[in-house]
Chains A and B, each alone.
Chain A
Amino acid sequence: MSDYVLNVNGAKLKVSALADETLLSVLRNRLDLTGTKYGCGEGECGACTVLMDGAAVHACQTLVADAVGKQITTIEGLEQNGKLTAVQQAFLDVGAFQCAYCTSGMIMRATVLLHELPNPTEAQIRTRMNGNICRCGTYPRIVQAVQQASHSMAKGGAR
Chain B
Amino acid sequence: MSTLLSDPIDLALPETSNAPRCFALDRRTFFKVFGGGLLVCLTDANVLAQEAGGGFGGRQPVPTAVSAWLQIAADGKISVFTGKVEIGQNIRTSLAQLVAEELMVPFDAITMVMGDTDLVPYDAGTFGSQSTPQMGPRLRNMAATARQALLQMAAKQWSVDAASLTIADGKVTNPASKQSLTYGQLTRGEKIVTTVSSTAPLTPANVWKVAGKPIPKANGREFVTGKHKYPSDIALPGMMFGKVLRATGFNATLVSVDTSAAEKLPGVKLVRDGDFIGVVAPDAYTAEQAIAAIQAKWTIPSQPSNQNIFDYLKNTPESGRGGARPNASVQPAAAATAQSADSQAIELAQSYTVQYIAHAPLEPRAAVAQWDSTGKLTVWTGTQRPFGVKDELVAAFHLDPTKVRVLQPDMGSGYGGKHTGETAIEAARLAKAAGQPVRLVWTREEEFTWAYFRPAGLMELKASVQHDGTLISWEHHNYNSGNAGLETSYNVSHPVTAYHASRSPLRQASYRALASTANHFARESFMDELAHAVAMDPLAFRRKNLTEPRLLAVLNAAAEKFGWATSRSTPTRGFGLACGMEKGGHVATCAEVAIDPATKSVKIVRVVSAWESGAVVNPDGLQNQNMGAIIQGIGGALFEAIHFADGRILNPHFESYRLPRFSDTPQVDIVLVDRKDIPSAGAGETGLVGLAPAVGNAIFAATGARVRNMPMAPDAPIPGITSSPFTT
Contact = CB atoms under 8 A, between A and B. Distances in A.
Given A36-B226, A41-B444, A141-B627, 7 more contacts: A17-B283, A22-B285, A75-B224, A101-B230, A127-B662, A137-B632, A139-B660
The 4 closest A-B pairs by CB, nearest first: A35-B226, A99-B88, A137-B631, A101-B412
A133 B235 contact: no
Given A99-B362, A133-B362, A137-B632, A92 B627 contact: no
Dominant secondary structure of chain B at its interface with chain A: loop
A100 B655 CA distance: 22
Given A29-B283, A42-B655, A92-B220, A137 B660 contact: yes
Contacts, number: 175
A137 B362 contact: no
B654 A136 contact: no
B362 A101 contact: yes
B224 A107 contact: yes
A38 B441 contact: yes
B624 interface: yes
Given A84-B225, A97-B223, A140-B627, A130 B663 contact: yes
Given A38-B232, A101-B413, A133-B659, A29 B665 contact: no
Contacts of A104: 226
A35 B311 CA distance: 47
A137 B413 CA distance: 12
Interface in A27-42: 28-30, 32-42
Nearest to A93: B216
B372 interface: no
B695 to A, nearest CB: 15
A158 interface: no
A125 to B, nearest CB: 8
B229 A34 contact: yes
A84 B413 contact: no
A121 interface: no
Interface in A101-159: 101-104, 107, 125-127, 129-130, 132-143
A97 B629 CA distance: 13
28 contacts: A18-B285, A18-B289, A28-B284, A29-B285, A33-B226, A34-B235, A37-B232, A39-B654, A40-B654, A41-B444, A44-B653, A47-B362, A75-B224, A88-B224, A98-B88, A99-B87, A99-B361, A99-B411, A100-B223, A126-B662, A133-B659, A135-B632, A136-B88, A136-B632, A139-B661, A140-B631, A141-B627, A143-B662
A76 B227 contact: yes
B178 interface: no
Contacts of A136: 88, 413, 628, 632
B345 interface: no
A21 B415 CA distance: 32
Given A101-B413, A133-B659, A37 B235 contact: no
B96 interface: no
Interface in B510-549: none
B318 interface: no
Contact of A138 (B224, B227, B628): B628
Nearest to B90: A98
A59 interface: no
Given A95-B620, A97-B223, A99-B362, A135 B413 contact: yes
Contacts of B225: 35, 75-76, 78-79, 84, 88
- Of B216, B362, B624, B654, chain A has the most CB atoms within 10 Å of the CB of B362
A100 to B, nearest CB: 4
Contact of B233 (A34, A98, A100): A34
A46 to B, nearest CB: 10
Contacts of B694: none
B663 A17 contact: no
B32 interface: no
Contact of B361 (A100, A127, A135, A140): A135
- Of B225, B415, B631, chain A has the most CB atoms within 10 Å of the CB of B225
Interface string B206-237: 00000000001100110111111110110100
A39 B223 CA distance: 16
A140 B230 contact: no
Interface of B: 87-90, 216-217, 220-221, 223-230, 232-233, 235, 241, 266, 283-286, 289, 360-364, 410-413, 415, 441, 443-444, 620, 624-625, 627-632, 653-655, 659-663, 665, 667-668
A44 B660 CA distance: 12
A42 B445 CA distance: 10
A141 B362 contact: no
Given A29-B284, A136-B632, A92 B221 contact: yes
B655 A44 contact: yes
Contacts of A88: 224-225
Contacts of B227: 35, 76
Contacts of B226: 33-36, 74-76, 104
A51 interface: no
B627 A138 contact: yes
Contacts of B441: 38
Contacts of A28: 233, 284
Contacts of B411: 99, 101
B653 A133 contact: no
A25 B654 contact: no
B358 to A, nearest CB: 10
B444 A91 contact: no
A88 B226 CA distance: 10
Contact of B241 (A29, A32, A125, A137): A29
Contacts of A36: 226
A137 to B, nearest CB: 3
A44 B653 CA distance: 9
Nearest to B216: A95
